[in-house]
Amino acid sequence: MTQPLVTIAISTYNRSASLDQFSLPAIQNLTYSNYEVIIVDDCSTDDIQSVLIKYKKDLKNLRVLRNEKTKDCPFQGIESLKMLKEKFVVFTELMMISVFLTV
């Protein structure tokens, strides 16, 4: 039996350090292999682009949607839903993802 594709959706605004130190390393260490990552960047002004470029090499299933102007969190969730390939999705805050993914 094949594993279903699970989408991990993360919305972020100026949290490149959290992505770099917690969220993306936790995702890299997953033992479940059939997943994709969608990051919705709410027009961050920090160095998030360089962080995403760094991880894109190892996370081939990483997709990024960057808002051209800052919007609110519910909108980001809706935008990530538009990008889904399958029906299983995990919405999470940056700091919680490392806890969630170790369960």
Q: Judging by DSSP bridges, how do beta strands 62-66 and 88-92 pair with one another?
A: unpaired
Output the average pLDDT for the chain: 78
Alpha helices by DSSP H, 22-90: 24-28, 48-56, 73-82
Give me the CATH topology for the region 6-101.
Answer: Spore Coat Polysaccharide Biosynthesis Protein SpsA; Chain A (3.90.550)
Where are the domains positioned within the chain?
Answer: 6-101
Give the start-end residues of each E strand in the chain.
6-12, 35-41, 62-66, 88-92
Q: Give the residue-averaged pLDDT of 35-47.
A: 90
* pLDDT digits 0-9 by tens, 82-102: 666 656 666 555 545 544 454
Higher-confidence residue of 54 and 6: namely: 54
Q: What are phi and psi of 2, to 5 degrees?
A: -85, 150
Provide the pLDDT for residue 76. Answer: 53
